[in-house]
Amino acid sequence: MGYLTGKKKAPAVADPAYVTWDAENSMVMTWLVNSIEEEISSNYMCYPTAQELWENVNQMYYDLGNQSQIFELILKLGEMRQGEHNVTKYFNSLKRIW
């Protein structure tokens, strides 16, 4: 997580620990890019650190994730019908979704 949050800072290039940091940072970046849809992942290949990559992806899609979840919940709630169920069972079904 330190690579994403910025807590794991890059040492100076001359520092022997830089090689390890660079390899680990690259690995985290690879995991991130490989977890993104292929159609948009190429947009995120130019960032020098995992933190910058994560911040940009987060900025672009954070609210979108919430909106799509809200939309999905609203659709499910709109499709719910009491039908043959008693009020208690219907209420519990609504409560589980909400």
pLDDT single digits (tens) 34-61:
988 888 888 888 899 999 999 988 887 7
d(CA 82, CA 76): 13
26 dihedral zone (left: phi>0; alpha: psi -120 to 50; beta): alpha
Instruction: Note the pLDDT of residue 96.
Output: 79
d(CA 53, CA 43): 10
For the question of whether the overall pTM of this predicted structure is more than 0.85, the answer is: no
Closest CA to 49 of 61, 35, 32: 32
